[in-house]
Amino acid sequence: MTDAPTKPDAIDVTLNGVTFEAEPGELLIDACERNGVYIPRFCYHPRMTPVGMCRMCLVEVDTGRGAALQPSCMLTCTPGMTVQTESELTKKAQDGVLEFLLINHPLDCPVCDKGGECPLQDQTMSYGPGESRFVEQKRHFEKPIPVNENVYLDRERCILCDRCTRFASEVAGDPLIHFQDRGSNTQVNTFPDEPFASYFSGNTVQICPVGALTAKPYRFKARPWDLEEVISTYPNPMGDRISVQSSRDKVLRIQGVDSDATNWGWLTDRDRFSFEAIHHPERLTVPLVHGDDLGNADAAGDNLVAASWAVALQQAGAVITAALDKGGPDAVGVLGGARLSNEAQYAWAKLAKSVIGTDNVDAQLDDGLPAAMVASYPRRTLNDALAPGSAVVLMSEDPKEQFGTLYLRLRHALQKRDITLVELNPTASGLGRLTTVGLHPRPGETGVVARALVDAVAGALPTADVGGVSAAAISAAATAVHGRPVTVVCGRASLAESASPTIDAAAALRELPGAAFLFALRRGNSHGAIDMGLAPGLLPGRVGLGATPEGWAAAPTVTGLDARGMLEAAVDGDLSVLVLVGSDPLADFPDADLASRALTTCDTVIAVDLFANLSVASADIVFPAAGFAETAGTHTNFEGRVSPLTRKVTAPGVARPDWVIASDLAFELGADLGFDSVESVFDEIVTVAPSHAGLSFADVAADNDGALVRGPTALDFGAPEPTAVVPLDGYSLRLVTDHRLYDNATLVQHCPSMANLADVAQLSLHPLDADRLGAGAGSLVTVISAAGSIELPVRPDPAVPRGSGVIPLNRSGADPRELIDHRAVVTDIRVASS
Amino acid sequence: MTPNTHHTANTPGWVDVDGPHIVTSRFGFDDSFTLARFEATGGYAGLRAALDRTPADVHTEVREASLLGRGGAGFPAGVKWGFCPPAVWPRYLVVNGDESEPGTYKDRLLMQRDPHQLIEGSLIACYALGLSQCFLYVRGEMALAQERIATALNEAYAAGYVGKNILGTDFSVDIILHWGAGAYIVGEETALIESLEGNRGMPRLKPPFFPAAIGLYGKPTIVNNVETLANLPWILLNGATEYKKFGSDTSPGTRLFAVSGHVARPGVYEIEHGVTTFRELIYGERFCQGIRDGHELKMFIPGGASAPWFFPEQLDLPLEAKPVGAAGSMLGSGAIVVMDDTTDAVRACLRVVRFFARESCGKCTPCREGTTWEETVLRRILDGKGRSADIDMLLDIGDNISPGPYPVAANEAEGQTAVPFPPRQTTICPLGPSSVAPITSAIRRFRSEFEAKIVLPETIPVAAAVHPATSELAAAAHGEGGHR
């Protein structure tokens, strides 16, 4: 033994005569790239298990037993390794592999969407032999075949790199495409009558190293060299990093960008293809006001007619001033704002709370969690939550349906890292067998089950079943999380029950040692909205009411109404002006009846939106807003990660950014918000919001992972008294309602590629419950609750626990909102054959 | 013992010859595959002998016997058994009964004629290694072997040889019979493991991980050939010392060789390992009795279709892995394919290459694309559409699958010295390089036969060659234009 001081993890690798230090466990292909030598590759993808199939990354490696060609994507760096990436042997192998890859490749580059950004083209130019000696007939397949509604497969172009098939089975968990046949007849294909029905299929198009997989929304739309791109953030709760690509002022494609903190380059198909809505002809392009049949502005008219900004703003200013004169600030309410950028949210918060003076502001539509709770509970980054040795408690809607890239990250961690996952939700999630323990409490009893779990972790194992969950399952779940830092993915798993069981459960789980939260709220920027003060009782920066923020003329001191309160006040005549900022309560508020009565009763409804949705159509004054990719700003994800939203195209007509509309409206009310650019809004946020202190717009934009808001908060959310459990009678089922990826959402329905993907509403029941009711798959039943009744088909589903019935929201055929009893904690339903 | 007849009625394909019968001792009996016959002829005595000793002792005995793997690589079984990483359990034994190498049909006979011997051998291996799970993977096409093994397993379970507390001891093993779906590549051990797991039979890359470290279901797995395991009962019954009395010092025991092609008496022969020469086997009266009808030997494949070809100069090599490897080929799976002077070397070459092109699993590029390309070019040459450049192109395609000098037998007339086995590879498994064997063997030796088939004079210009004159003009144009 020598005492020479050696770094225990130093691995010296000699690359083309130059020695560098590799990291322990680092793959040779990555180490070389990190040190400036790119090794060509096709099958290797840093986010998937290497398979060493394409042989393109063969390099001459000597590990002490003589130089030999080895695939650098499968080789971990070892001390003393000598690598030659430019030797004759390496070059001959690269030439050979590329020649082999090209012999059956159709070389139809001039008509191939991938041409110009094709790794096969690029690497042939850089490393290939230059000419082919192949004079035989090439392999032929039927040219492109659809593998699902949006993805086409050209098997002639395919080089069989296993990227898409690996993605499908390993990353997405939808192993619906696979190799078939063998030898040179090998092809990728779906199985008979089984389309590649995956929410993540678009990712295979992005990672395909040739033009074999193409996506319908982009096919033949542009050549890559005509595209301009900006790096941006998709405004979803995960804050997926994306590249927005456009040509001639039209967004033509969205691609995922690999951010280690968030989406790892993946996107759901809904997000990826949603750009189609940006240029939809039904976008609102001009302000609308009441008018007559001839299209002239007329306050007494029944129609909405086009108006200038000056007229519309003047009208809006007048009604707000009138309402303030008549009923004071509390007569005005602002509903929505969760889809806006942080800057627009701040501008609207400042307009409402400082200029108008009302605290009746809520970005969540009674389908979220108390803002003070979200703002004050401890958080953890996703990477920390999924670090080896961690545990996750999933208490939200199915991430596969609503938080796609979170689902992919959870899948990865459960497969490749030592983490455990306990589900605490009404139905089994799409994670399936990867879930360590599934606890599925009876709706309304999540709180008591969470309490039992916390007690069990502390050592007091349950002796009897709790909330419809067996004592054994709770004990198993306690074992699964014991001794591990627990992160709770917390959201409203079902809108058929009130928020209180979830709040109780979160308060209980907070007592677990090392517990932190990731709040899975609906809508893209709900977290930004809470941080910017678009919630009753909050001011920007996770601060409660009390002091007046710096630079603000005034601030409310009494907590205002939440969404439900505002709508009830409107019905009661106490609220005369309701401003809808990118919200559609008629379609999206859980209590459809209340929303409908409120919008009818309310004196004036002012709507700021992208499309003339149901609520906008019943508004009195409409402002067209610039949407995603049309306006710059920043976005906050569920970790509190702030990342840039980049403007790429011009908004349609005279639509304006939401923060400009807020400024304009403030001006009508005689106030100046003081903003002249997005940066100026951000700068004010940094000074006003303690949580954002120290950030800068430039820093946020510069880091691929964005910047984390970790502001300390003085807020405290006192846990309320636990909700009493409502007993279930033996004749009823308990209703669960949730959201699915494809539904009748305005955005989805304005994307031609996705509009038809939403299924009709069905009642999902456990197969035994369906049998008991004599309701076979597809048979029509009537579902009755204390609030109403609807008719819809039955779908037996073993993921639904016995005693529950699941109906998705916002789908055609039947609206489960008609069943929900909003005065009760839970909704019990009875099912009768139609 | 049954008389020395040509192809016994009970075991078509097997030729009984004088000499030790270590694995074929029951082949002469009509009912050799039944438990009754097996027990009446010393069956399961080897297992009893093993169970009387400690597992480590049994392992030592096998290591002492220097029992070489009979699947192709010829690695000592006792040493392979020692490769499992310590303290990783469970471990598995997988019996490779996917005998698919063209010309090889010895394992099929062992499985059809003496399934209990294989079961006994598997049990001994499990005992030595402390395993309780064994998977018997039988090739998809071998219906009779599957049926016989299934019946034998049922008999053995009923009689208490397999299952819980074997023969009243603490030793328990379950043997699971599994059959393939018909793929040559599944004979490769990692592809076999993939297939056994229910995946497409495609090889795994090794290194980094060999099955002994990470195999079936990610656990340490020993994969042994059928014939290897069939030797174990005899070794345990008679001891390593007795075993080593047969064969050469480096290759003890006997070995089954399947001889096919243009010999007077093709068949499977159990002969002493490492002692007999190819000449004795092919020309010996006891064995194949020479080339058919007075023809002359042109070439022979010493170890299955994957092996480079040998020629009359190599006849005096012993049937032993090392010298055969040094001479530029391999003994492989013990399949000797003899071709006489009526054989068209190009056609024979195509026949073998076509097999590999059909059986390539399609996983890695050089094999998937290269083997079919080789086949098309050979087909084209045979169809009279070859070009003179095709011959060197075939060699270069081979070089892109298997870089560097490919193993080839010496050819003194041409001044060609032997290139020793094995070939290098750009592929994951040796299937691709195997397709190069017939091409290099045939072109090196019979280039004139290829040339004779080529009637078209030139290559087809696929890209405009850069003429020096054109280049000069281009350079001049750039020079005068002053810009690019």
- Asked, for residue B469, whether it belongs to a domain, the answer is no
* C-beta separation of A58 from A94 below 8 A: yes
Residue whose C-alpha is closest to residue B441's, from B431, B430, B453, B433: B433
3-state DSSP assignment of residue A490? strand
Tell me the pLDDT of chain A averaged across its residues. Answer: 94
In this prediction, residue B477 carries a pLDDT of 45
With beta carbons under 8 A apart, name residues in chain B contacting A159. Answer: 365
- Model confidence over A688-706: pLDDT tens digits? 999 999 999 988 988 888 9
User: What's the whole-number mean pLDDT along residues A714-721?
Assistant: 83
Based on the domain organization, do B126 and B237 belong to the same domain?
yes
| Partner-chain contact A97 B358, CB within 8 Å | no
- Model confidence over A487-524: pLDDT tens digits? 999 999 999 999 999 999 999 999 999 999 999 999 99
Q: In whole angstroms, give the CA distance from residue A145 to residue A155.
A: 8
Lowest mean pLDDT among A436-440, B379-383, B428-432, B459-463: B459-463
With beta carbons under 8 A apart, name residues in chain B contacting A140. Answer: none
Does residue A710 register a pLDDT over 80? no
Order of strands across the sheet with A391-395? Answer: A437-439, A420-424, A391-395, A486-490, A516-519
Based on the domain organization, do B227 and B138 belong to the same domain?
yes
User: Which of B194, B197, B205, B209 best tests the A interface by mutation, with the highest count of A CBs <10 A?
Assistant: B205
In this prediction, residue A703 carries a pLDDT of 87
Rounded to the nearest 10°, the torsion over CA B42, B45, B47, B50 is -140
Q: In whole angstroms, give the CA distance from residue A666 to residue A357.
A: 12
> In the structure encoding, which two tokens stand for residue B310, read together?
């040998």
Q: How far is A96 from chain B (nearest CA, A)?
A: 5
Query: Mind giving me the DSSP string for B6-63?
Result: SS-SSSTTB---SS--SS-TTTTSTTTTSHHHHHHTTTTHHHHHHHTS-HHHHHHHHH
Based on the domain organization, do B237 and B288 belong to the same domain?
no
Neighbours of B413 (CB within 10 A): 8
In this prediction, residue B294 carries a pLDDT of 82
* C-beta separation of A86 from A15 below 8 A: no
| Partner-chain contact A97 B366, CB within 8 Å | yes
| Partner-chain contact A93 B462, CB within 8 Å | no
3-state DSSP assignment of residue A724? coil
In this prediction, residue A278 carries a pLDDT of 96
In this prediction, residue B402 carries a pLDDT of 95
Rounded to the nearest 10°, the torsion over CA A395, A400, A405, A407 is 60
User: What's the whole-number mean pLDDT along residues B173-194?
Assistant: 94
Does residue A331 register a pLDDT over 80? yes
| Partner-chain contact B426 A131, CB within 8 Å | no
* C-beta separation of B175 from B162 below 8 A: yes
According to the 3-state scheme, what is the secondary structure of B451-462? Answer: HHHCCCCCCCCC
> In the structure encoding, which two tokens stand for residue A773, read together?
């009711």
* C-beta separation of A259 from A704 below 8 A: yes
- Asked, for residue B46, whether it belongs to a domain, the answer is yes
For residue B367, the chain A residue with the least C-alpha distance is A183
For A531-567, b/e burial (b = at least 16 CB within 10 A) is bbbbbbbbbbbbbbbeeebeebeebbeebbbbbbbbb
Tell me the pLDDT of chain B averaged across its residues. Answer: 90
Find the CATH number of the domain harbouring B296.
3.10.20.600
Based on the domain organization, do B166 and B284 belong to the same domain?
no
Based on the domain organization, do B236 and B281 belong to the same domain?
no
Number of domains in chain B: 3
- Model confidence over B218-236: pLDDT tens digits? 999 999 999 999 999 999 9
Find the CATH number of the domain harbouring B221.
3.40.50.11540
Neighbours of A614 (CB within 10 A): 16
Q: Say which amino acid occupies B265.
A: R
- Model confidence over A193-221: pLDDT tens digits? 999 999 999 999 999 999 999 999 999 99
A-B CB pairs within 8 A amount to: 109
Rounded to the nearest 10°, the torsion over CA A393, A399, A403, A409 is 70
Query: Mind giving me the DSSP string for A203-214?
Result: HHHHH-SSTTEE
| Partner-chain contact A182 B360, CB within 8 Å | yes
For residue B370, the chain A residue with the least C-alpha distance is A100
For residue A71, the chain B residue with the least C-alpha distance is B426
Confidence of residue B466 (pLDDT cuts 50, 70, 90): very low
Does residue A3 register a pLDDT over 50? no
User: Using CB atoms, which residue from B366, B368, B393 is nearest to A160?
Assistant: B368
- What DSSP character marks residue A457? H
Does residue A167 register a pLDDT over 70? yes
Q: Beta partners for A306? A: A288
Residue whose C-alpha is closest to residue A344's, from A588, A636, A577: A636
Based on the domain organization, do B235 and B328 belong to the same domain?
no
Sign of CA dihedral A148, A152, A156, A161: negative
Residue whose C-alpha is closest to residue A195's, from A796, A760, A757: A757
For residue A60, the chain B residue with the least C-alpha distance is B426
For residue A624, whether the previous peptide bond is cis, meaning omega lies within 30 degrees of 0, is no
In this prediction, residue A7 carries a pLDDT of 57
- Model confidence over A519-542: pLDDT tens digits? 999 999 999 999 999 999 999 999
> In the structure encoding, which two tokens stand for residue A94, read together?
């690269």
| Partner-chain contact B369 A101, CB within 8 Å | yes
Can you say whether residue A467 is alpha, beta or left, with left for phi > 0 and alpha for psi between -120 and 50 degrees?
left
For A373-392, b/e burial (b = at least 16 CB within 10 A) is bbbbbebbbbeebbbeebbb
User: Which of A26, A53, A124 best tests the B interface by mutation, with the highest count of B CBs <10 A?
Assistant: A53
Higher pLDDT, B74 or B198: B198
Q: How far is CA A120 from the centre of its chain?
A: 32
- Start-to-end CA span in chain B (Å): 88
Residue whose C-alpha is closest to residue A379's, from A270, A540, A237: A237
Q: In whole angstroms, give the CA distance from residue A208 to residue B353.
A: 31
> In the structure encoding, which two tokens stand for residue A816, read together?
């489960």
- What DSSP character marks residue A127? H
Q: Pick from B316, B340, B364: which residue ends a domain?
A: B340
CA distance to A67, B77, B81, B185, per residue, from B68 (Å): 28, 6, 12, 22
Can you say whether residue B460 is alpha, beta or left, with left for phi > 0 and alpha for psi between -120 and 50 degrees?
beta
Based on the domain organization, do B405 and B270 belong to the same domain?
no
With beta carbons under 8 A apart, name residues in chain A contacting B368. Answer: 100, 160, 183-184, 186
3-state DSSP assignment of residue B147? helix
Q: Say which amino acid occupies A296.
A: N
For residue A187, the chain B residue with the least C-alpha distance is B362
User: Which of B200, B356, B360, B365 best tests the A interface by mutation, with the highest count of A CBs <10 A?
Assistant: B365
Q: In whole angstroms, give the CA distance from residue B301 to residue A386.
A: 57
Q: In whole angstroms, give the CA distance from residue A347 to residue A792.
A: 44
Confidence of residue A430 (pLDDT cuts 50, 70, 90): very high
Q: How far is B407 from chain A (nearest CA, A)?
A: 16
- Model confidence over A172-181: pLDDT tens digits? 999 999 999 9
Based on the domain organization, do B66 and B198 belong to the same domain?
yes
According to the 3-state scheme, what is the secondary structure of A409-430? Answer: HHHHHHHHCCCEEEEECCCCCC
- Asked, for residue B365, whether it belongs to a domain, the answer is yes
Does residue A118 register a pLDDT over 90? yes
> In the structure encoding, which two tokens stand for residue A560, read together?
């205002």
- Model confidence over B62-118: pLDDT tens digits? 999 999 999 888 889 999 999 999 889 899 999 999 999 999 999 999 999 999 999
With beta carbons under 8 A apart, name residues in chain A contacting B357. Answer: 183-184
User: What's the whole-number mean pLDDT along residues A738-742?
Assistant: 95
Can you say whether residue B304 is alpha, beta or left, with left for phi > 0 and alpha for psi between -120 and 50 degrees?
left
Based on the domain organization, do B156 and B262 belong to the same domain?
no
Query: Mind giving me the DSSP string for A732-787?
Result: -EEEEEE--SSSS-HHHHT-TTTGGGPPBP-EEE-HHHHHHTT--TT-EEEEE-SS
In this prediction, residue A758 carries a pLDDT of 92
Tally of helices (H runs) and strands (E runs) in chain B: 17, 8
- Asked, for residue B270, whether it belongs to a domain, the answer is yes
- Asked, for residue B4, whether it belongs to a domain, the answer is no
> In the structure encoding, which two tokens stand for residue A731, read together?
């004749």
- Model confidence over A270-294: pLDDT tens digits? 999 999 999 999 999 999 999 988 8
With beta carbons under 8 A apart, name residues in chain B contacting A131. Answer: 462-463
- Model confidence over B367-389: pLDDT tens digits? 999 999 999 999 999 999 999 89
| Partner-chain contact B462 A179, CB within 8 Å | no
Based on the domain organization, do B302 and B394 belong to the same domain?
no
Lowest mean pLDDT among A77-86, A463-472, A710-719: A710-719
* C-beta separation of A826 from A444 below 8 A: yes
Based on the domain organization, do B267 and B401 belong to the same domain?
no
Q: How far is B423 from chain A (nearest CA, A)?
A: 12
User: Using CB atoms, which residue from A51, A93, A137 is nearest to B426?
Assistant: A93
Rounded to the nearest 10°, the torsion over CA B234, B237, B241, B247 is -10
Confidence of residue A728 (pLDDT cuts 50, 70, 90): confident
* C-beta separation of A350 from A552 below 8 A: yes
Give the range of the structural domain holding residue B370, as residue numbers without chain letter.
345-453
| Partner-chain contact A133 B183, CB within 8 Å | no
Does residue B315 register a pLDDT over 80? yes
Based on the domain organization, do B217 and B122 belong to the same domain?
yes
- Asked, for residue B426, whether it belongs to a domain, the answer is yes
- Model confidence over A62-110: pLDDT tens digits? 988 889 999 999 999 999 999 999 999 999 999 999 999 999 999 999 9
Confidence of residue B10 (pLDDT cuts 50, 70, 90): low
CA distance to A283, A332, B274, B371, per residue, from A609 (Å): 9, 18, 87, 61
ipTM rounded to 2 decimals? 0.89
Q: Pick from B243, B263, B291: which residue ends a domain?
A: B243
* C-beta separation of A384 from A406 below 8 A: no
Does residue B33 register a pLDDT over 80? yes
- Asked, for residue B382, whether it belongs to a domain, the answer is yes
Q: Which domains does chain A have, with CATH numbers?
A: 11-86 (3.10.20.740), 136-277 (3.30.70.20), 327-368+525-708 (3.40.50.740), 378-515 (3.40.228.10), 733-833 (2.40.40.20)
In this prediction, residue B462 carries a pLDDT of 54
Neighbours of A784 (CB within 10 A): 16
Residue whose C-alpha is closest to residue A591's, from A259, A342, A819, A289: A819
For residue B394, the chain A residue with the least C-alpha distance is A133
User: Using CB atoms, which residue from A52, A131, A134 is nearest to B205?
Assistant: A52
Residue whose C-alpha is closest to residue B298's, from B337, B259, B265, B354: B337
With beta carbons under 8 A apart, name residues in chain A contacting B209. Answer: none
With beta carbons under 8 A apart, name residues in chain B contacting A182. Answer: 183, 359-362
User: What's the whole-number mean pLDDT along residues B317-342?
Assistant: 93
Find the CATH number of the domain harbouring B406.
1.20.1440.230
- Model confidence over A225-243: pLDDT tens digits? 999 999 999 999 999 999 9
- Asked, for residue B268, whether it belongs to a domain, the answer is yes
For residue A67, the chain B residue with the least C-alpha distance is B424
In this prediction, residue A5 carries a pLDDT of 45
Q: In whole angstroms, give the CA distance from residue B191 to residue B193.
A: 5
% of chain B residues with pLDDT over 90: 80
Model pTM? Answer: 0.92
- Start-to-end CA span in chain A (Å): 84
Does residue B463 register a pLDDT over 70? no
| Partner-chain contact B403 A89, CB within 8 Å | yes
The rounded radius of gyration (Å) of the Cα atoms in chain B is 25
Does residue A372 register a pLDDT over 90? yes
Q: In whole angstroms, give the CA distance from residue B473 to residue B479.
A: 10
User: Using CB atoms, which residue from A74, A132, A182 is nearest to B208?
Assistant: A74
> In the structure encoding, which two tokens stand for residue A106, read together?
């159709």
User: Which of A49, A100, A132 best tests the B interface by mutation, with the highest count of B CBs <10 A?
Assistant: A100
Interface of B with A (CB under 8 A): 183, 200, 202, 205, 208, 357-366, 368-373, 376-377, 380, 389, 393, 399-401, 403-404, 424, 426-428, 460, 462-463
3-state DSSP assignment of residue A181? coil
The rounded radius of gyration (Å) of the Cα atoms in chain A is 29
% of chain A residues with pLDDT over 70: 99
